[in-house]
Amino acid sequence: MPKVTIDNKVYEFEGRPKLLQFCMEHGIEIPYFCYHSAMSVPANCRQCLVKVGNPQVDRATREPVLDDDGNPVIQYFPKLQTSCSMDMTDGLVVHTHRTDELVARAQRDNLEFLLANHPLDCPICDQAGNCPLQNQAYKYGPEGSRFEFDKVHKPKKIELGPRVMLDGERCINCTRCVRFTSEISKSNQLTIIERGVKNYPLTPPGVVFDEPYSMNVIDICPVGALTSKDFRFRARAWEMSKTPSIVTGTSRGSNCYYWVKDNEVMRITARTNVEVNGYWLADVDRLNYRKFNDARPLGPDMVSEGARVSTDWDGAYERAATLLRGVSGDEVLFIGSAHASVEDNYLLMKLADHVGASAPVYIPHVEAGSGDDWLVTDDKAENAQGCERLGMHPVDETVVRARLDSGAIKLVYVMDEDPVASGLFTADQLKSVDVVLHYYNTTNETFPVANVSLPAATIVETIGTFVNDQGHAQRVRPVKAIQSMNRSLMMETGLSRQDRHATPFDKWSKAENKVNCQPGWVTIPEIASRLNLDLNYKSPKAIMAEIESSNPAFSGATYDAMGLTGARLAEVGTTV
């Protein structure tokens, strides 16, 4: 196998990778700005310079030339080379800034140039704290600047489109955003204008940067030049926790980070998962986070003597159990949810089985033609595939409507769904029956007709497994805290700097942003125990372990196997 020597250490490689990509994959840090694994290599930031050479070969004998000590003589390239554009060849000898002072100096020099006309407005910049330029300037840059002239002034506060703002002065002209629109999204809505030191990206005349993937350029911008109109000036990077999870509103399960401050989701950014979403995220998936913060229920409530009263959790569980006890199994319609995790649906199936009802159905959320052939899917629910693999099926509307109207159904048990808003039933139809509802938001249109309503933890407050439309099983982690203490949730919760170090007087610790809700894997076992069914598992991990070992459609989907990037499940005959 061909070998490369990097900083006096020998590595083996296959094919002809680019040197920088190889170093990134092997934990050898080299500073860079313009390179991106998914895009072409313009080698324009000139930051990743390294010293490169090949062993000298005697022309006549084809033998390597050795020096007096018997070591091969290395013939170095006359100039430093950009590692991003350097094709690796057998025998290549590389020196980074760790082993070569000239390389370290070149990288320092380059950062001095980059910072010469950079406004250095880090104190008011959204990118600060999470900024490749800032990080690498501290790490590899000069200690001060010798530049003592007026900086170049360029337009600031440019609205590129409905979602992206540009500060021309912060731009370091890496052209990542331009390459994104020309190579990845192919919208060609951005280009570099002006020349030389006045360069900055802009839309061509008459064009608005409104493509459905526009916000990815904010993620890949190595400085704070491109900012989100939605997020800008709302939080500093170090005030937020950043938790890996998946987005909602699409069955693709694109990987993302949730950024949380004061126990509220502030923004969603893309997380790399080459098998699912690559490096990208659709704009709609980023901007739908407000549902996690706004219109959340205050706590469980129920209808008592014709009036809605709030209650404690035990009261709500007891009422739900009472309603279930009061009807026979075939009089209950269980509605599971393609928004809920595999674990929650699995527990609901067990409960339905226990009371003698038929298996739960789920409401499909397919909007035909609304997807593209990339990350936006027709199916707007996250876990339809997971429901199918559990053995649940889409609701047969005509059948259940007929049963409801004929009075055959006396109790509708809804988990994490909204049958009224999705058009399955009307609110009037449901008034004639009892309704138990697990729900996310008070905007839920079934909520006004529910007899017992239990606030449910959303995808950002729970632990669970979701299977995307390609059969990729992925875990979600709690991104923000809920009011009640839960050992499993606490062990998985990501912490921001303030969560760990701030004082109790800071706003973050106020309970008002913590929602009084419970995950399904807490509420359903509570109700079940009142019906003499023991569904108490140690943790969601144990639930999934049981599903994995008992249901071949989930073979391989243990929490450990899914990790951060998920596990690809085998194809099954029944797909959505």
Partner 1 sequence: MEQKKVESNAGNWKEYTRVLLPPVRDLHRLDVYEKQGGYSALRSVLKGDKWDPKSVGDAVKSSGLRGRGGAAFNAGLKWSFMPPVDERPRYLCCNGDESEPGTFKDRQLMEYNPHLVFEGILIAAYSMSITTTFIYVRGEYADWIKHMEGELKKAYDKGFVGKNIMGTDFSTDIVIHKGAGAYICGEETSLMESLEGKRAYPRSKPPFPAAYGVFGMPTTINNVETLACVPLIIDRGADWFAGIGAKTHAGPLLYGISGHVNRPGVYEYPSGMLMTDLIYDVCKGMRGGKKLKAVVPGGSSTPVLRADMIEGVCMDSDSLRAVGSMLGTGGMLVMDEDTDMVKWLRRVSHFYHHESCGQCTPCREGTGWLEDLVGKIDDGEGNLRDLDILIDLCYQMEGRTVCALADAAAWPVRYTIDRFRSEFEAKCRASHVATGDLQIA
Q: Which residues form the interface with partner 1 (CB under 8 A)?
A: 41-47, 49, 78-80, 82, 85, 106, 109-110, 112-114, 116-117, 146-147, 149, 152, 172-173, 175, 191-192, 194-199
Amino acid at 486: N
Tokens 């409905």 locate to 162
Q: How far is the CB of 157 from partner 1 (least distance, A)?
A: 22
Residue 72 φ/ψ, nearest 5 degrees = -65, 140
Q: How far is the CB of 22 from partner 1 (least distance, A)?
A: 18
In the bound state with partner 1, the residue whose beta carbon lies nearer, of 183 and 294, is 183
Is the Cβ–Cβ distance between 289 and 479 less than 8 Å?
no
3-state DSSP assignment of residue 53: strand
In the bound state with partner 1, the residue whose beta carbon lies nearer, of 117 and 181, is 117
Task: Work out the angle at residue 382's Cα, subtended by the Cα atoms of residues 376 and 383, and round it to the nearest 5 degrees.
Answer: 135
HSE-up (13 A, CA, CB side) for residue 461: 29
Among 33, 20, 31, which Cα is nearest to 170's? Answer: 33
In the bound state with partner 1, the residue whose beta carbon lies nearer, of 86 and 436, is 86
The rounded distance, in Å, linking the Cα atoms of 419 and 430 is 10
In the bound state with partner 1, the residue whose beta carbon lies nearer, of 24 and 192, is 192
The rounded distance, in Å, linking the Cα atoms of 363 and 360 is 10
3-state DSSP assignment of residue 102: helix
In the bound state with partner 1, the residue whose beta carbon lies nearer, of 16 and 500, is 16
In the bound state with partner 1, the residue whose beta carbon lies nearer, of 47 and 474, is 47
Among 159, 463, 516, which Cα is nearest to 340's? Answer: 463
Strand ranges for 252-300 from DSSP E: 255-261, 264-270
Is the Cβ–Cβ distance between 562 and 473 less than 8 Å?
yes
End-to-end CA distance of the chain: 45
In the bound state with partner 1, the residue whose beta carbon lies nearer, of 169 and 548, is 169
CB within 8 Å of 27: residues ≥ 6 apart: none
In the bound state with partner 1, the residue whose beta carbon lies nearer, of 149 and 505, is 149
Cα–chain-centroid distance for residue 213?
15
Is the Cβ–Cβ distance between 80 and 102 less than 8 Å?
yes
Q: How far is the CB of 216 from partner 1 (least distance, A)?
A: 22
In the bound state with partner 1, the residue whose beta carbon lies nearer, of 173 and 383, is 173
Q: How far is the CB of 52 from partner 1 (least distance, A)?
A: 13
In the bound state with partner 1, the residue whose beta carbon lies nearer, of 133 and 435, is 133
Q: How far is the CB of 523 from partner 1 (least distance, A)?
A: 57
Q: How far is the CB of 227 from partner 1 (least distance, A)?
A: 22
CB within 8 Å of 322: residues ≥ 6 apart: none
Q: How far is the CB of 539 from partner 1 (least distance, A)?
A: 51
Q: How far is the CB of 491 from partner 1 (least distance, A)?
A: 45
Tokens 């006004």 locate to 448
> Across-strand partners of 10?
5
Take residue 285 and report the two structure tokens written for it.
Answer: 């998936």
3-state DSSP assignment of residue 169: helix
Q: How far is the CB of 544 from partner 1 (least distance, A)?
A: 48
Per-residue three-class SS string for 382-407: CCHHHHHHHCCEECCHHHHHHHHHHC
In the bound state with partner 1, the residue whose beta carbon lies nearer, of 87 and 312, is 87
Region for 31 from its dihedrals, namely left if φ exceeds 0, alpha if ψ lies in -120 to 50, beta otherwise: beta
Is the Cβ–Cβ distance between 45 and 172 less than 8 Å?
yes
Q: How far is the CB of 186 from partner 1 (least distance, A)?
A: 15
Q: How far is the CB of 33 from partner 1 (least distance, A)?
A: 8
In the bound state with partner 1, the residue whose beta carbon lies nearer, of 112 and 546, is 112
Q: How far is the CB of 385 from partner 1 (least distance, A)?
A: 41
Strand ranges for 2-117 from DSSP E: 3-6, 9-12, 49-55, 74-76, 81-82, 92-95
The rounded distance, in Å, linking the Cα atoms of 132 and 191 is 22
